[in-house]
Amino acid sequence: MSEKYGGEVVSNDLTVVSYDPVTKNMFLVDGTKEIRLRLASVKTKFPHLAKLFPNKGNLSPWENKIAVSPEEVGVKVSKEQRPVKSAFLVHLDSDATENLVVYRENGISVRYTLYEDMSRIVRGSAISLFGKKNNILGYMPSLDNSLLHQKRVDTIEFLLSKIGVWNISGGNINQICEAIARITFS
């Protein structure tokens, strides 16, 4: 798919975004690159990737998960900052017989999701330090304050009102990619 649409991974999941409220510019700066795959999903959606999974006979296909680099699945990685043109919440595990549903998000649920995701690390609620015996080592204090809160709110409002956050579910992978391309490049 990345060859057809020219896609590159700047970040997957944990993403550093730069937003300047004065210039009204938002950029993807960097972030995690690994892609997590579940054998059950790969078997139905991307069977050519099943060879990446080690034989774990004691795990069901749903429990059998791996993390791979984008390059391992044929996707290029960009190390350059890129302007944010649109954002997507994509649900890939839907039944391929369902109709493709695409709509722009703007309600309380997407604000809640974005705020929670943007708050997790700074508040320390998503960070646990583990020892060699898989034991949690201790308390991680919050780094949050009212200024950081306001920056998150401003970023979310800019993202929703000026950039656009789209929810995509149903359909097959080709329909999903076509919808993303249509929205991003129109």
- pTM score of the predicted model: 0.76
| Cβ proximity of 16 and 26 under 8 Å | no
Give me 43's structure tokens. 């078997």
Q: Average pLDDT over the chain, rounded to whole?
A: 86
Per the model's pLDDT, the better-predicted residue between 6 and 72 turns out to be 72
pLDDT of residue 3: 57
**pLDDT value at position 12?**
80
What is the helix, strand, coil percentage profile of the chain, to 5? 35, 25, 40
Q: What is the pLDDT of residues 53-80, one digit of tens each?
A: 988 778 888 888 999 999 988 888 988 8
pLDDT at residue 100 in the model: 92
Q: Is 80 exceeded by the pLDDT of residue 96? A: no
Query: Pseudo-torsion of CA 48, 51, 53, 56, nearest 10°?
Result: 120
Pairing mode, strands 15-20 and 25-31: antiparallel
Residue type, 58: N
pLDDT band at 44 (very low <50, low <70, confident <90, very high): confident
Contact present, 35 and 70 (Cβ < 8 Å): yes
Q: Which amino acid type is present at position 12?
A: N
CA distance 11 to 142: 24
Instruction: Reply yes or no on whether the pLDDT at 155 is more than 90.
Output: yes
Give 6's contacts (C-beta < 8 A, 6+ positions apart). none
pLDDT tier for residue 101 given thresholds of 50, 70 and 90: very high
Residue 90 has pLDDT above 90, yes or no: no
pLDDT of residue 137: 78
Q: Is 120 a residue whose pLDDT tops 90? A: no
**pLDDT (0 to 100) of residue 95:** 59
Q: Which whole number is the average pLDDT over 39-55?
A: 86
What is the band of 1 on the pLDDT scale with cuts at 50, 70, 90? Answer: low
**pLDDT attached to residue 116:** 92
Spatial distance between the Cα atoms of 19 and 98, rounded to a whole number of angstroms:
36
Measure the CA–CA gap between 145 and 12, rounded to whole angstroms.
26
